[in-house]
Amino acid sequence: MLSKILKHRKNIRQYMRYMRQSLTVKQQYNASIQISHLACNYTLIRKAKNIAVFLPFDGEINTYPFILKLWLNNQKVFLPIINSVHNKTLLFAHFTSKSILYCNQYKIFEPYFHTQDIISTSDLDVIIVPLVAFDKTGARLGMGGGFYDICLKDWRKKNILPVGFAYNFQLVHNIPKQYWDISLPVILTPDQISFFGS
């Protein structure tokens, strides 16, 4: 049974990654502008002071237009960094227009940072979460590393709002969940904001 679930999850990942990577530059750009507009008009994001945002990788939604809007609104942006000391955990570093980026071991951009640039996860108001697929219950399928599942384990206690960013086609009928999977209360696509009972 477990092997069937894992195989199904793997198949979803492969198909959705193929779909993302097949998008034209224009399609990616249009989606990023639409989702940025929706996000910045969503009250809980608009009123947030500290927002963690991923940088696009592997055909993910381009978050740069959204980040620019946050800066213009004088909101602080933080980028995820894979913690080299505690495996599978994320740190979040302040990101500005002057930040210098480098490619980590997964080919994802991270900022060079000093200790004072790191914010406690509990001090974040919103975490924008990447995903490979999601379903009508808010269940999220990521790339398989488990970083965000660990990071978001206590999001209710910490009073953080996790918000998924996805393309419309990333919605699937059902994601076979594992016990460690964290569902999302809110997911934005270029067309709409979806709320779930997580």
Helix (H) or strand (E) run with residue 51 in it: strand 50-52
- 197 is annotated as contributing to ligand binding: no
8 Å CB contact between 114 and 149: no
- 38 is annotated as contributing to ligand binding: no
3-state secondary structure 161-188: EEEEECCHHHECCCCCCCCCCCCCCEEE
- 147 is annotated as contributing to ligand binding: yes
Q: What is the mean pLDDT of residues 58-76?
A: 97
CA 58 to each of CA 21, 28, 38, 170: distance values in angstroms, whole numbers, following the listed order: 7, 12, 22, 14
Q: What is the mean pLDDT of residues 76-102?
A: 90
Helix (H) or strand (E) run with residue 34 in it: helix 25-40
Tell me the per-residue pLDDT of 125-180, one tens digit each, with 9 for 90 and over.
999 999 999 999 999 999 878 899 999 999 999 999 999 999 999 999 999 888 88
- 145 is annotated as contributing to ligand binding: yes
Tokens coding 97: 């227009």
Residue 197 has what pLDDT?
80
- 174 is annotated as contributing to ligand binding: no
The residue ranking higher by pLDDT, 3 or 162, is 162
Q: What is the mean pLDDT of residues 103-122?
A: 91
CA angle 99, 102, 107 (to 5 degrees): 135
Residue 1 has what pLDDT?
56
Confidence of residue 92 (pLDDT cuts 50, 70, 90): very high
Residue 188: is it exposed, middle or buried by C-beta count within 10 angstroms (0-12/13-18/19+)?
buried
Residue 8 has what pLDDT?
86
Q: Which pTM was predicted?
A: 0.93
| Residue 6, pLDDT above cutoff 90 | no
| Residue 198, pLDDT above cutoff 70 | no
Strand partners, 133: 141
Residue 138 has what pLDDT?
96
Residue 83: strand, helix, or coil? coil
Helices 64-72 + 25-40 axis angle, to 10: 30
Q: How far is the C-alpha of 12 from the C-alpha of 17, rounded, in Å?
A: 8
Residue 2 has what pLDDT?
59
- 13 is annotated as contributing to ligand binding: yes
Q: What is the mean pLDDT of residues 49-75?
A: 97
- 142 is annotated as contributing to ligand binding: yes
- 10 is annotated as contributing to ligand binding: yes
Residue with tokens 């206690």: 157
**Structural domains of the chain in order of their starting residue, each with its CATH number:** 2-195 (3.40.50.10420)
Mean pLDDT of the chain: 93
